[in-house]
Structure 1
Amino acid sequence: MATSINLNLLGDNYPVFPMSTVQVLYSERYQKLRYDSSVPLEDYVTTLPTSLLFLQIPHQFILHPPSHHAYLTSALSHLNLPPQFLHQIISLALNLATNNSLLGSYFIVAGLEYLRVEQANDDDEILRAEFRDMVNAGVAPSDDIDDLLNDFMNLLNGFGWESESTEEGASTSAIDELVKNGGFVASSSQERQGFDVGFTCSVCLEEPQAGDKLIRMNCSHVYHQSCLLPWLQRHNACPNCRCKLDEQ
């Protein structure tokens, strides 16, 4: 699990407070990412922003930059911030004090976010997270979510998409034989190849285009070669009718 700390700085030259102020807020966030993508499956705040520091800087220090710098360094040092974050906060404060016409007064909010990132490497886990997104978006009902998740997984399993399948894939020799005997290239006329106009590969749901490599299994179901071969490496059956490859 990867962890990181992010800093979000907000500086204002026209503060609500009568003297220069620095506030440091801390929050924690958790993300779970797909193993093949940076798109979060889960993303939520685990700890709401809490104030670590609310510092008001005496005006006499604002008028003397070295004293201003030393005061901020001393006050912020006990937070054990990463050096680069400490430098960013102090630099912003000094710049606002120097460039502000209102006697150097300013108001800074520094938001520190501790981020924990975990990669999902389990198909079942990914599907469940995606289903939760559907519930949160109102696409799926939220009542009895655990039962709905189980029904959803059982439905997928019924179509052969086992998340934790123990089935062995077809042998390399059987796959090679299938490619040799059943492989062909799509032409512009689908009728001449034994399937109807409008036929789609039931794995990717796309209609074959001229030049696509296809495979016709002995059960007569036709697929893109690039769709079928990864499936056969995990399952020894037709994705459509479940006819065993070694029995064809």
Structure 2
Amino acid sequence: MAINKFADMRENEIKSMFQKIDPTKSPIYGRNRISRSASHTIPHTPSGAKIPDFVDWRTAGIVTPVKDQGENGTCYAHSAVGAFESQLAIHSGKTVPLSVQQVVDCTSEFGSNTPYKAYEYIIFSGLTTEALYKPRVNYTKGHCDYYVKTVYGKAYAFGILKPGDEQALQEAVATIGPISVCIQCPKGFWFYKGGITDDPNCKSDLITVDQCVLVVGYGTDTKTKQDYWLVKSSSGENWGEDGYVRMARNKHNQCAIATLASYPVITRV
């Protein structure tokens, strides 16, 4: 447990600061099936390639620094934009921070706050850089200042992984890159300092997810031999392990880590 910006608050107070993710507005619904009516979605097909036992995309230089979303429910935007930044970096060789604020400001007509909302906007309008569309304090929503000539990149679709399949998520992280996921926060999550979170009571149901993050790798702890996911937060670099958390892997989809997993499919830079 850590003394951090959440230390003087109860967990229910912390959660009240963040907008609840509404998974019923995502392309996955009912019995965790992909909606045929969802636009721009591509069911992910595993490549079958042999994958390594350890992946950390930070070492490849394609993950941007951890941001701090403040006291607003913008985790969905941070998660989706993080995945998009990495895809553009993998394909272009340039890692450029993109504008989370643009997604927050300009997506009112694109539905509820899930990464899919951000993807639909990125497909429709494209995204500019953080340098050209700067963040407000706590990413507070404001007027949409989108200007087409400043677009840095677009997506034409987004891939949806089989809900609840940790092996599919592992393969996607290894072969595609960082993957956007939405989780149920495990007990004590906001006061996390280090190590691997392992909460057997953390559910895997779609309806329980309340925070979107970015899986940038996976591995096995050398001392405990426990498998983990390496997850980038949007709680700032002073939270957790420099803004990251390691979450239990291969524990029956603990905390719904693989329930709402996706990635953007890019078209150009």
TM, length-normalised to structure 1: 0.18
More helix by share: 1
Which has the larger strand fraction? 1
Q: Which structure has the larger Rg?
A: 1
Q: Which has the higher contact order (CA 8 A, sep 6+)?
A: 2
